[in-house]
Amino acid sequence: MSQEKLMNVLLGPHVSEKSARIAETANQFVFRVRRDATSGDIKAAVELMFEVKVADVNVVNVGGKQKRFGQRVGRRQDYKKAYVRLAPGQSIDLTGTEA
């Protein structure tokens, strides 16, 4: 895959209590990714963008919830998220602060 396409695979970090907990304990980070991305694409994109070594990638397809807007029923979009485990000694700083 070309570098241009790899730069568009990751949509952003998925921020939640669970993702913060596993980032601290398991050296694992959670990203929202394109729905057509494969595990290999995600691994290559993380290694390219953050210059780290990826040990493992797990992918989850999340179905959108049904929501009501008054009397109308709507639906949120489905999305895909990736749990990326880094090799020992590797780290990603998603906060943007330099220490």
pLDDT digits (tens, 9 = 90+) for 38-89: 999 999 999 999 999 999 999 999 999 999 999 999 999 999 999 999 999 9
Q: How confident is the model at residue 93 (pLDDT cuts 50, 70, 90)?
A: confident
Q: Is 96 a member of any domain? A: no
Q: Is 77 a member of any domain? A: yes
Is 74 in contact with 66 (CB distance < 8 Å)?
A: yes
Compute the half-sphere exposure of residue 43: CA atoms within 13 Å on the CB side of its CA: 13
Evaluate if residue 98 carries a pLDDT over 70.
no
Q: Is 93 a member of any domain? A: no
* Residue-range definition of the domain harbouring residue 61: 3-86
Q: Is 56 a member of any domain? A: yes
Q: Is 45 a member of any domain? A: yes
Q: Which residue has the higher pLDDT, 28 or 97?
A: 28
Q: Which H or E run contains 58?
A: strand 54-62
Q: Is 95 a member of any domain? A: no
CATH of the domain at 58: 3.30.70.330
Instruction: Give the number of domains in the chain.
Output: 1
Evaluate if residue 99 carries a pLDDT over 60.
no
